[in-house]
Amino acid sequence: MLVPFVLYLGALPFANRVEPLVFGLPFLFVWLLGATLATPVAVWLTYRGDQKRRRS
């Protein structure tokens, strides 16, 4: 669950720039969009790992 935290806050000072443009969008916007899409994956992986640990 540290992945979303690091993507949103930890790396923000390094990603806070307009250039380069990615698909015509500022880099920060693309970074935050990627972090938003990665958060449910991280939560699902945590849930899946917790369920495996509970079964054993």
Q: pTM for the complete prediction?
A: 0.73
Residue 48 has pLDDT above 70, yes or no: yes
3-state secondary structure of 25: strand
Tell me what pLDDT residue 37 has.
Answer: 93
DSSP single-letter state for residue 18: S
* 56 vs 36: which has the higher pLDDT: 36
Tell me what pLDDT residue 42 has.
Answer: 92
* 34 vs 14: which has the higher pLDDT: 34
| Domain tally, the chain | 1
Q: Give dist(CA 35, CA 52) in Å, integer.
A: 26
3-state secondary structure of 44: helix
Give the range of the structural domain holding residue 15, as residue numbers without chain letter.
Answer: 2-55
Tell me what pLDDT residue 35 has.
Answer: 92
Helix (H) / strand (E) element for 52: namely helix 27-55
